[in-house]
Amino acid sequence: MKILEISKMTKMFLFDALKSATDEEMQKDNKVFVIGEDVGHYGGSYKVTKDLHSKYGDLRILDTPIAENSFTGLGNNIQIYSIGAAITGLRPIIEGMNMSFLLLAFNQIANNAGMLTYTSGGNFNIPIVIRGPGGVGRQLGAEHSQRLEAYFQAIPGLKIIACSTPYNAKGLLKSAIRDNNPVIFFEHVLLYNLQEDVPDNEYLLPLDKAEIVKSGLDVTILTYSRMRHHVLQANKELSKLNYNVEIIDLISLKPIDMTTIKESIKKTHKVLIVEECMKTGGIGAELIAKINEECFYEIDKPIIRLSSQDIPTPYNGLLEQATVVQPNQIIEAVKKLVSR
């Protein structure tokens, strides 16, 4: 009888898991390189590239000026960096020191990264990963608290990923680096110090699948990124009250895994969406539209959407907290959806 080998595990912070994924892919493929602000000697603002410069050197860990539009798009004609480099067959990983400032590179991401495969008639692939910290931190101010997932949602040609644990961060980043399409890879600024056991052996995770975090029968909760942990926190209290919720971490924000969502709704017939994105035009709005199109007759009650307030995030700590969904709101929403 053959005994299956159980993989050894190492406890990692999320930023270490991202570093490990980057390191493994750079070792495996010399076409992979990292470019961004302070990614080299300094090791990245959140230490995702710490010590990689000494291992790979200036040509593969490239420090740039503070000019997101330049280092994201430079090379469309002279074929040196990022999107231009991807056209030539390299695999750039762009680190946005803060994802809020990728708005400066919106034109390059939308009109070049997202569209060049199509507008070239398929002659060019754009294997590029644009990753970095986003979301509401702790008193980072409005300009550093953006949630850009909804901004990029409408751009054809992009894949959008939101990691939420060290385990899925590593497996998803490795898959994103190997993918031949442009991938926007969101990391939440408050999850970098999250710790979890991660397998020592190599693994990849699919870029188009949601994760059923917890099975249940009463209500389907759709969430992603940091809100996954708020939902889990709320579930501790909900379990004591005998509510049996199903929690789904979307992970892939584009494309959305409607197969997993539809199977869950067929069981629960009720949906709660919990997001940190703004309510107007957010990911939740897209989810409601898709659910109404594909699952309308499975829904017993109107969908509830818990989202951030439609205002610039305040610097004041108490006001900042009030703009973001809290576990007690999730508990009350479940009680409203599930009749007792």
d(CA 194, CA 197): 11
N-to-C CA span, the chain: 50
CA 315 to each of CA 45, 76, 137: distance values in angstroms, whole numbers, following the listed order: 20, 38, 10
CA distance 270 to 221: 9
Residue carrying structure tokens 């990963």 = 129
Q: Which of 53, 144, 230, 269 is catalytic?
A: 144
Secondary structure tally for the chain: helices H, strands E: 13, 14
Q: Which of 323, 227, 214 has its CA nearest to residue 275?
A: 227
Please pick, among 68, 246, 275, 286, the residue that the annotation labels catalytic: 68
Q: Is 68 noted as a catalytic residue in this protein?
A: yes
Judged by DSSP in three states, 226 sits in coil
Q: Element (H or E) spanning 70, and its range?
A: helix 68-73
Estimate the crossing angle of helix 14-28 against helix 166-178, to 10 degrees.
30
**Pair 179, 157: CB distance under 8 Å:** no
Question: Distance between CA 91 and CA 95 in Å, rounded?
Answer: 13
144 catalytic residue (yes or no): yes
Instruction: Check: CB of residue 46 under 8 Å from CB of residue 16.
Output: no
Query: What does the alpha-carbon distance between residue 265 and residue 288 come to, in Å, rounded to a whole number?
Result: 12
- By residue count, the chain amounts to 340
Please list the active-site residues: 68, 144
